Structure 1
Amino acid sequence: MGAEGICITGIGLVTPAGQDLVSTWRTLCAGRSLAATDPALTGLPVDFSCRVKELQVEQEVGPQRARRTDRFTHLALAAARRAVLDAELEAHRWNGERVGIILGVGSNSLETYPTEFRRLTDGKPTAVSPWAVTRSVPSTVAADLAIELGAHGPVFTVSTACASGATALGLARDLLRAGTCDIVLAGGSESGRAQMTATCFAQIRALSRRRDRPHLACRPFDLDRDGFVLGEGAAILVLERATHARRRSKAPRALLRGFATTSDAYSHAAPHPDGMGAERALRAALADAGCGLRDVDHINAHAASTPLGDAAEAAMLRRLFDGTTPPVTATKSVIGHALGASAAIEAAVTVQALQHQAVPPTANLETQDPGVELDVVTTELRRVPMNVAVSTSFGFGGSNAVLVLSTP
């Protein structure tokens, strides 16, 4: 093993599959997509999504903050509180100067801007909300968590498109290794259910068009895949050095052993067809962890259900593992694509896979693409003895990020 392992001592999840770790895992293990018609997207070419239901926003964040912040902040605050509780920490009682927060956000929130722009174009600049900027810029979510939790160390957001959550976790790992912080809350939060977001992704034909059967729309690695389903959610992981966790007698859920990120430097939206940038990231992350390819027991794939993306990732994995890949799953098949939050959610799910020694199934894989020569878990939960698991994440602009996680 390489450098001292970074412990994951707490996880907070808010996803379409549940508002905590246990319910999210249970729903994922059922292997059925949660995509459904979304009232927020009525009238659009693609009018369905995977959404977080029954989140009591005012109870979670308070009435005033609920009015002054957008949904990606609501989701992050809820997840952060769950993560701190799971880690058996007490915010404001810790040494806040040694606590950092790094969150991945794919873009600024597009909930607020259409309303405010409409007021401006209607000739009513004084009607524009004074909170329009602070509620929507990406840095808002990290700042709100810092205010809520009394974190006075490094606090910022990162944006590497759909790899943002993994990038945040990797940078948090670096802060801990450098001794800059004792505790870092890291992960991602995003809601893709704004009408502008849905319209933009539909215009570039990234979304599935199965409006008549949305629950069958997201089908990673399937021969008939035609795009992803928008989702939302947040995952916050509490990271500490092993020595720090031991001092407070907190057993870790898992270790973050390796991380690497690369760029395709190829296209704004399409992955490089040979997946060489993704392969470099995976090789580098394993080297960082002190692991080899034969040590990998499970892969949580990016697998967004796009024709080009799935093909490039599958070809890369087959080539790298010489045709004998470990069991693969695709979390987005059940809960959709939460954009900048997706990588953090999938990291949390991978931790659960390690803890339960089981791989949840991929939904809607009816006819596996002949070009996808992978051992994709389908139909039901598969029990798999495992010590090391990999979570892969790729984003627009050619961002590749890979996390290597292991049992403690």
Structure 2
Amino acid sequence: MRRVVITGLGALTPLGLSSQSSWDAVIDSKSGISEITDDVLRVSDLPVRIGGLVKNADKAEGWPKGSERRMDRFMQLAIAAASQAVVDSGIHSLSEDEKQDISVCVGSGIGGIATVEQGALTLENEGYRRISPFFVPASIINLAAGHIALNFGFKGPNICYSTACSSGAHAIGEAYLSIKNGQTQISVSGGSESCMCRLGIAGFFAARALSVRNSDPQKASRPWDRGRDGFVMSEGAGFLILEELEHAKKRGAKIYAEICGYGATADAHHITAPDPEGKGAYEAMKLCCESARINTDEISYINAHGTSTPLGDKVEILAIKRLFNDDAKRIAISSTKSSIGHLLGAAGSVEAIFSIYSIYNSVLPPTLNLDDPDEGFDLDFVPHISREMDVNIAMSNSFGFGGTNASLLFKKYK
């Protein structure tokens, strides 16, 4: 049985320009949510004027300099985060023959929506001759993976997944299966998203998904709290290097944790609303445990999807209680979206990184703003401050529009 381990991490989030700085800020109970001002993006006429922006992103390690005309921001974020993970793992130094066996798996829910928005305005106001020849390659999702492969010469499978807010998790899960099944040795996998544009904000507001707590941005993302009114949209990217264990050991790689389970299901219920009983989420978590051949009583931490939406928060907890039964009250559960907001297609990969760090550092990230838990939310949500605790196995959940569900399991490497 081939085992798969994590040998590199990279991220850009509203809290930091690396995975480590983002983790440090989360553990310190900081919030990356802020007011959006018109000098950054014209929002004064919109009902939502808060979000999680990656500040000074062009100063991050791995940022593709001078790429503004050639690619959408979600691609730039992806390239930077993936580059950090690649360098962290050392796989950029492998031989050309070994790079034939490195895949790139990228998830993004929407891709280059800001580029599409700008292109439509240009066409309408200035005519077709003013459309950039880079318009299509700058906006399509698979070019994020294409640029990463081009930059490092990785010639294995080059694949993108677009499954709404579970895109990053599905990319990791499918990469895990490809290594476990012997199709590849290494994968650069994760997610990236940047929908912080007028069209993105207006669209999600129209879907009744966003918080309108404009007067208090850092309190707006409040999973499981009675005062929650929707999620806070953010941007960012997170990437992991997945590697077959014996290959990693042979080259002396640093190992953060082992990925040991993956479950994916569909609600088949509604285009945006989750199944009201959480059936799909339950099945994804159940499959995840079965694929890892572990019992639920072995799991000590869940990094929940926990978006801060009234219905979404409720059904995930229903699913957790159904799967874990009386043991649910023993497990620590937190939502790091309370700190960084909802990164949409990048949420699953960034939250996977936080789950891995919780194992590697024996610390649980907190759930911010949980001042008044709503009815039925009587579990251990690690409120307000981080907690030191030995974590052997952690689960990370991601669910999305269309009723798509993904669960990942990570465990301490031994």
TM-score range, shorter chain: over 0.9
The correspondence for 2:372, drawn from 363, 367, 371, is 367
Report the alpha carbon displacement of residue 63 of structure 1 after superposing the two structures with TM. 4.1
Q: Which residue of 2 aligns with 1:80?
A: 82
Q: Distance in 1 between matches of 2:170 and 2:61?
A: 30
TM-aligned CA distance change 1:283 to 1:41, over 3 Å: farther
**Equivalence map 1:43-62=2 (5 Å):** 43=44, 44-56=46-58, 60-62=62-64
Query: 351, 359, 364: which is aligned to 1:354?
Result: 359
AA matched with 2:339 = V
CA distance in 2, matches of 1:263, 1:245: 34
AA partner of residue 159 (structure 1): S
User: SS where residue 205 of structure 2 aligns?
Assistant: helix
> 1:91 Cα shift?
5.0
1:33 aligns with 2:35: no
Amino acid at match of 1:9: T
Give the match for residue 218 of structure 2.
Answer: 215
- CA, structure 1 residues 162+382, in 2 after alignment: closer, same or farther (shift >3 Å)? same
Normalised TM-score (structure 2): 0.95
Contact 1:57 1:74 in 2 (8 A): no
1:254-273 aligned within 5 A = 254-273=257-276
Q: Which amino acid aligns with 1:26?
A: D
Partner residue of 1:69 out of 64, 67, 71: 71
> Hey, what's the Cα distance between the residues in 1 that align with 2:10 and 2:126?
43
Is the Cα contact below 8 Å between 1:92 and 1:150 reproduced in 2? no
Gaps of 5+ in 1: none
Give a deviation string over 1:310-341, Cα, whole Å, max 9, x none. 00001111222114320001010000111000
> Aligned partners of 2:133, 2:63: CA distance in 1, in Å?
20
> 5 Å matches for 1:289-308?
289-308=292-311
Please, what TM-score do these two structures have when normalized by structure 1? 0.96
Aligned counterpart, 1:131: 134
Structure 1 distance, partners of 2:102, 2:31, is 37
Specify the SS of the correspondent of 2:262. strand
TM-aligned CA deviation for residue 77 of structure 1: 1.0
- Residue 103 of structure 1 corresponds to which residue in structure 2? 106
Q: Which residue of 2 aligns with 1:191?
A: 194
Indicate yes or no: 2:237 matched with 1:234.
yes
Quick check: 2:297–2:327 contact (8 Å CA) kept in 1? no
Of 379, 383, 386, which aligns to 1:381? 386
Is the Cα contact below 8 Å between 2:282 and 2:322 reproduced in 1?
Answer: no
Report the 3-state secondary structure (helix = DSSP H, G, I; strand = E; otherwise coil) of the residue aligned with 1:76: helix
User: What corresponds to 1:24 in structure 2?
Assistant: 22
Q: Displacement, 1:125? A: 0.6
Aligned-partner Cα distance in 2 for 1:149–1:173: 20
Aligned equivalents of 1:120, 1:404: Cα separation in 2: 46
Q: Does the 8 Å CA contact 1:189/1:233 hold for their aligned counterparts?
A: yes
Residue in structure 2 matched with residue 42 of structure 1 by the alignment:
43
The 3-state SS of whatever aligns with 1:324 is: helix
Q: Contact 2:334–2:365 (CA<8 Å) still a contact in 1? A: yes
- How far apart are the structure 2 equivalents of 1:61 and 1:199? 28
Distance 2:340 2:205 in 1: 18
User: After superposition, where does 1:299-338 map in structure 2 within 5 Å?
Assistant: 299-325=302-328, 326-338=331-343
Distance 1:323 1:47 in 2: 41
CA contact (8 A) 1:91 1:149 kept: no
Deviation at 1:96, TM superposition (A): 2.2
Q: Extract structure 1 runs of 4+ deviating beyond 6 A.
A: none
Farther-moved stretch of structure 1 (185-194 vs 25-34): 25-34
Paired amino acid for 1:25 = W
- Aligned partners of 1:91, 1:247: CA distance in 2, in Å? 14
C-alpha displacement of 1:92: 6.7
CA distance in 2: counterparts of 1:149 and 1:374, whole angstroms: 45
1:20 is displaced (CA, Å) by: 1.4
**Comparing 276-285 with 55-64, which one deviates more in the overlay?**
55-64
In the alignment of these two chains, the number of paired residues is 406
